[in-house]
Chains A and B, each alone.
Chain A
Amino acid sequence: MRTEHLWKIYPQDPRPVEAVRGVDLTVWRGEFVAMAGPSGSGKTTMLNLVGGLTRPTRGKVWIEGEEISALSDRRLADLRMHRIGFVFQSYNLLPVLSALENAEFTLLLQGVPAAERRGRVRELFREIGLEGLEDRRPPKLSGGQQQRVAVARAVLGDPALVLADEPTANLDSHTAEALLDVMERLNRTKGTTFVFSTHDPRVMERARRLIRLVDGQIESDHAESG
């Protein structure tokens, strides 16, 4: 994933808000990246720009070599379905669907046959400790379980990139660590690229690359050696 001179300006009275200001960033396949910064630093806007949920005011975004900022609504939707996975802070799941149905939703949209979908979901559920919870609806799952289902949904479509917007913000310490374990393991075993926006020091500690954003600009970008 690469951004070039990326700007996002929201028209607002009395003066426009510059949420992202000329960010140049490259994230390589298999990275485990945290974008940290205070509230209003532009973390979430960056994720939305990279994920094609909002369009840049200026600048460009490439996902796996494809420039996405000028794509049509439909092409962007296809891109999100096939190449990007999202995990949000809360209310991540569709409440009318069971845990299994939520997890397989992207695969369903991709047209993967039912048997294959179910097989992949059950295998991943076993791997991340959700076995036995397949038929539960979101209100019957704990916060940590819901986030794990969301992570499962995000990675099951084999995306190029998983964008996680403060995924641990509403979780207690133990549950947050467990969720990070899951994502770290998926990153290592499947090679899935994760980009987090976070305030959470636990996420920052686990990240192998930490980007600090301040006022919509990259203040620092440190990758762990080795």
Chain B
Amino acid sequence: MRSRLPTLAWLALRNLGREMRRAALTAAAMAIGLALLIVSRTLSDGAHEDWIDSGVRLGSGHVVFNAPGYRDSESLEDRLSEDQVEAAFAAVEGAGLPEAVLTSVRVSARGLASSPDGAIPAWILGVDPAAELPFSRLGTDVLEGRYLEERDRLHAFIGQGMALRLGLRIGSRMVLTAQAASGDIEGQLVRVVGMFRTSVPEMDDVLVHIPLGTARDWLGVEGATSVATLLPHSTFTGQVHQAAAAAVQSSGVEVTPWEEASPELYSAVRIDDAGDWAFHLILFAIVALAILNAVFMSVLHRKRELGLLRALGLSSRQTGLVVFLEGVLVTAASGVIGVALGFALVWIFFRNGLDLTGLMPEDLSFAGIVFNPVMYPVIDVRHLTQSLFFIAVIGVSASVFPAWQAAALDPAESVKVE
């Protein structure tokens, strides 16, 4: 059997050559299906990475360091000491990432923001402006005024929603009130230097950035409530989380990946991923039917020929193998063409993105993230390998039934067929 494999493969190739039009149509259907799969997969991965990036920048980063219990209590009592903050920095540096990691030390408090027009709930975040600017990027697209600077002390950078609700403008004064580390309710007067707009209401209406030093002095804390880290790509999360958790274990610091820190975001990505798989299953089914139809029809049209092969000395298994190899060859050829076509399309989208502006409402947000209507592909080797593997398995599986049919033909009956 083994020594005849090249002969059978040669015969399968010649058979495909005869039915070139049918083989080409089948291969084209598969190649286009595969190309669409690659484009869809890379665009989905790109969109998901975009969502994650957007969510973790405005939230707690890809990996966040807190004191134990802080995530539940959000109390200043459960804060990191200065030594623990240093330990967190050292843990990130020791994670051995090839690319730069952004780190932001934050003091966070829930409280009230008030002006002569009223008072509303506020999420007050004391930040180091130089570290926070590239992290959250809130300061890179300022709606009005400017972002915080190193020399600022009693200044605040607020969302447009808050400004509207409290009747604030650039230069307006507002009072922030929160519970300090001592347990007392303390107020802090600040002046608005700039405003942002993210289109995420839970950010625009409540978030206030003030200088880290001001927050520490006002709330009576020396360390921080969190150290947020932004990684070059979300796929590094597991590696950094694992390494950092091991590094800070003795320091009593809790390390949380974004999937746990932002469960809504994680759910959104998972749900969308499940939808993508459903779409991919439909594509897989189309590909499987295309191969099954083409190879099966060719068996029905060639009964006499297959009977002749049996008469000439092929066993039933070898006759089935010829038909099976035809399916495998079509799958392989369409795989190569589909991958080339898919990556050509991906390359176009790399340059220009896929603009869905016309299909989406403006400022669409969900789970604390803003949907970018222009999707850019991201090549996730694991996902692409999975897709290619499934296509190969489907192509091969869809060839099994016609091959079995060919093997089961009665040679004496088949050679009679006119």
Contacts and interface: CB of A to CB of B under 8 A. Distances in A.
Interface in A24-55: 44-45, 48, 51, 53-54
B14 A73 contact: no
* Chain A: number of interface residues, binned into ranges: 20 to 34
B313 A106 contact: yes
Given A54-B412, A95-B18, A77 B315 contact: yes
B309 to A, nearest CB: 8
B338 to A, nearest CB: 26
A81 B305 CA distance: 16
B317 interface: yes
A73 B315 contact: yes
A96 B19 CA distance: 9
Nearest to A75: B315
A97 interface: yes
Interface in B401-418: 410-412, 415-416, 418
A108 B312 CA distance: 11
Interface string A49-63: 001011000000000
A199 interface: no
A169 interface: no
Interface stretch (A86-94, A119-127, A172-180, A203-211): A86-94
User: In terms of DSSP, what is the predominant structure of the interface of chain B?
Assistant: helix
Contacts of A222: none
A135 interface: no
B411 to A, nearest CB: 5
Given A48-B412, A53-B415, A111-B3, A94 B305 contact: yes
A92 B318 CA distance: 19
A96 B7 CA distance: 14
A15 interface: no
Contacts of B308: 88, 91-92, 94
A81 B312 contact: yes
Nearest to B17: A96
A118 interface: no
Given A88-B308, A88-B415, A77 B18 contact: no
Nearest to A154: B312
A146 B337 CA distance: 38
A106 B415 contact: no
A105 B311 contact: no
B316 interface: yes
B40 interface: no
Given A53-B415, A54-B410, A92-B308, A74 B313 contact: no
B313 A53 contact: no
Given A74-B317, A96-B14, A53 B305 contact: no
B7 A80 contact: no
B209 interface: no
Nearest to A80: B313
* Chain B: number of interface residues, binned into ranges: 20 to 34
Given A53-B415, A94-B305, A109 B311 contact: no
Contacts of B317: 73-74
A175 B305 CA distance: 24
A153 B309 CA distance: 12
Nearest to B413: A54
A96 B3 CA distance: 22
Interface in B8-41: 11, 14-15, 17-18
Contact of A77 (B3, B304, B305, B313): B313
B310 interface: yes
A109 B313 contact: yes
A92 B416 CA distance: 11
B379 interface: no
A66 interface: no
B411 A53 contact: yes
A74 B17 contact: no
A80 to B, nearest CB: 5
A73 B316 CA distance: 7
Contact of B15 (A74, A96, A105): A96
Contact of A108 (B7, B304, B412): B7
A81 B415 contact: no
A82 interface: yes
Contact of A53 (B4, B11, B304, B412): B412
Contacts of B410: 54
Contact of B310 (A77, A90, A92, A97): A77
Contacts of B416: 44
Nearest to A54: B412
B315 to A, nearest CB: 4
Contacts of A95: 18, 305
B123 to A, nearest CB: 73
Given A54-B410, A96-B17, A86 B304 contact: no
Interface of B: 3-4, 7, 11, 14-15, 17-18, 304-305, 308-318, 410-412, 415-416, 418
22 contacts: A54-B410, A54-B412, A73-B315, A73-B316, A77-B314, A77-B315, A78-B315, A80-B311, A80-B312, A86-B311, A88-B308, A90-B418, A91-B304, A91-B305, A91-B308, A91-B418, A94-B305, A95-B18, A96-B17, A109-B7, A109-B312, A109-B314
Interface of A: 44-45, 48, 51, 53-54, 73-74, 76-78, 80-82, 86, 88, 90-92, 94-97, 105-106, 108-111, 153
Given A80-B310, A97-B14, 5 more contacts: A73-B315, A77-B316, A81-B314, A95-B18, A109-B7
